[in-house]
């Protein structure tokens, strides 16, 4: 058994049948001689009869055999199938229907639908829509007309774009093509125990959270938007963000107005699945997003996160446990992690 495995955390994941832990280790049961995924639905053995191994081959070398119910050896096959499906979706001019996509990677449609969503946080159809919207957004940002962007994104008609892509932009397509012209962003600076915190929001939700900066940061990110000081409503929202700095283990339902490529959004979704007080490596994060080989890109997606704390990129560390980088300094990252480990997760009170 590897000393790198936190056995208490591994047991907690096994006891809760945490699907997010699948692929990170296997659970070997001495009384049955089998090894399982952490999410195995079978009845749990006693704690003293359990050991943990980083990979199936190490469990097999120790004399255990694979569980026939949860089939732990198929995790690698599942990930390869998702990775292949992502490549197919990324390169297809017209996204294939679910039945065709599933058949290509060797799964039944209903099974692959669940598998894909568990790995990426979205369904294949939602991922394909995200790709279209991202392509259209990039075309708009490059100065293309709305009509050109609609067809470069792969939409069959303008109505499809306005139904699916426009709501993701947080502003009208024409405003986005002009660098956010016509959009109002309100900002405030709130004191926290980790330093002054900029909180900014559009009418849709929080669009920027940053330490040690001011409205000039917003001018850089949103050069054509109207940047104005916040009102009482933003002050109330900012206090909820401050509460998350002081107690980052709290759950929240704050509205967000953020956007990125389909891969970035998959990474951000994966970040939000990491339980408070726990960390994942960049390799783990890439795997959670369905791209096991995209470790460097996963790090870049964390760097592109405009709303840290709300999308908790501080929960990602380097392989081996080193703290790794953080836009606002390793000391703040360590402080946030320490606060999460010292306090149980609590649900934030509902907003008015």
Catalogue the active-site residues: 36, 313
> Rounded distance, CA 90 to CA 83, Å?
10
Angle between helices 295-303 and 262-271 (to 10 degrees): 80
Label each residue of 199-245 as H, E or C.
EEECCCCEEEEEECCCHHHHHHHCCCCEEEECCHHHHHHHHHHHHHH
**Pairs from 309-312 (Cβ < 8 Å, separation ≥ 24):** 309/209, 309/241, 309/244, 309/245, 309/248, 309/336, 310/206, 310/209, 310/241, 310/244, 310/252, 310/254, 310/256, 311/256, 311/258, 311/268, 311/271, 311/272, 312/248, 312/271, 312/272, 312/274, 312/276, 312/336
> Which residue, among 271, 188, 167, 306, has the nearest Cα to 237 in the 3D structure?
188
> Rounded distance, CA 88 to CA 90, Å?
5
**According to DSSP H, which parts of 63-199 are helical?**
75-91, 98-105, 109-120, 124-141, 146-152, 158-164, 166-169, 173-177
Q: 195 CB contacts (<8 Å, ≥6 apart)?
A: 211, 212, 332
> Rounded distance, CA 152 to CA 93, Å?
10
Label each residue of 152-186 as H, E or C.
HCCCCCHHHHHHHCHHHHCCCHHHHHCCCCCCEEE
């Amino acid at each position: 058994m590897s000393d790198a495995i936190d056995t208490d955390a591994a047991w907690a994941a096994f006891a809760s049948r945490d699907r997010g832990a699948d692929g990170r280790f296997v659970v070997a049961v001495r009384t049955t001689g089998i090894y399982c995924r952490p999410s195995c639905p079978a009845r749990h053995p006693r704690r003293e009869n359990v050991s943990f191994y980083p990979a199936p081959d190490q469990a097999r070398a120790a004399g255990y055999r694979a569980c026939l119910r949860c089939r732990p050896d198929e995790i690698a096959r599942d990930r390869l199938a998702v990775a292949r499906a992502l490549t197919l979706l990324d390169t297809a001019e017209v996204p294939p229907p679910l039945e065709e996509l599933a058949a290509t990677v060797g799964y039944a449609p209903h099974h692959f639908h669940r598998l894909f969503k568990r790995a990426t946080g979205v369904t294949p159809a939602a991922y394909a829509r995200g790709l279209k919207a991202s392509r259209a957004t990039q075309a708009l940002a490059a100065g293309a007309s709305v009509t050109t962007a609609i067809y470069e994104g792969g939409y069959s008609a303008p109505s499809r774009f306005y139904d699916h892509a426009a709501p993701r932009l947080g502003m009208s397509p024409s405003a986005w093509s002009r660098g956010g012209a016509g959009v109002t962003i309100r900002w405030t600076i709130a004191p926290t125990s980790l330093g002054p915190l900029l909180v900014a929001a559009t009418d849709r939700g929080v669009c920027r959270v940053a330490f040690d900066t001011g409205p000039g940061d917003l001018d850089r990110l949103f050069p054509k938007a109207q940047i104005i000081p916040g009102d009482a409503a933003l002050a109330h929202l900012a206090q909820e963000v401050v509460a998350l700095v002081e107690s980052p283990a709290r759950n929240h339902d704050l509205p967000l107005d953020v956007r990125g490529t389909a891969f970035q959004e998959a990474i951000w979704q994966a970040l939000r699945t990491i339980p408070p007080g726990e960390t994942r490596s960049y390799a783990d994060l890439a795997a959670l997003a369905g791209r096991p080989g995209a470790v460097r890109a996963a790090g870049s997606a964390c760097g592109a996160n405009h709303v840290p704390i709300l999308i908790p990129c501080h929960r990602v560390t380097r392989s081996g446990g080193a703290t790794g980088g953080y836009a606002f300094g390793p000391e703040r990252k360590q402080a946030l992690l320490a606060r999460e480990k010292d306090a149980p997760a609590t649900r934030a009170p509902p907003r008015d």
